[in-house]
Amino acid sequence: MIQWHDPVVEEVRRIREQQAAEVNYDLDAIFERARRRQKQSERKTVSFAGTATSGNRQEQRAARPRPVA
């Protein structure tokens, strides 16, 4: 198997590991830091709050209201 090394991927993984180690791999702390950085950012964000993000697609379609003909 041929392995390739992408310097960007390696940098992202190194930074991710460093940031996780800084908070002792505590997932709550990792997500809190990410939320804080996102709030401080000037960039636009998208929220999927209130949308169906789990479950079976057929179940989601069946739950949708049908238009009246």
pLDDT at 6 over 90: yes
Supply the pLDDT for residue 53. 59
Supply the pLDDT for residue 10. 96
What gap in Å lies between CA 39 and CA 43, rounded to an integer? 9
Q: What is the pLDDT of residues 12-69, one digit of tens each?
A: 999 999 999 999 999 999 999 999 999 999 888 888 877 665 556 666 666 666 767 6
Supply the pLDDT for residue 20. 96
Provide the whole-model pTM: 0.54
Supply the pLDDT for residue 60. 64
23 torsion bin: left (phi>0), alpha (psi -120 to 50), beta (else):
alpha
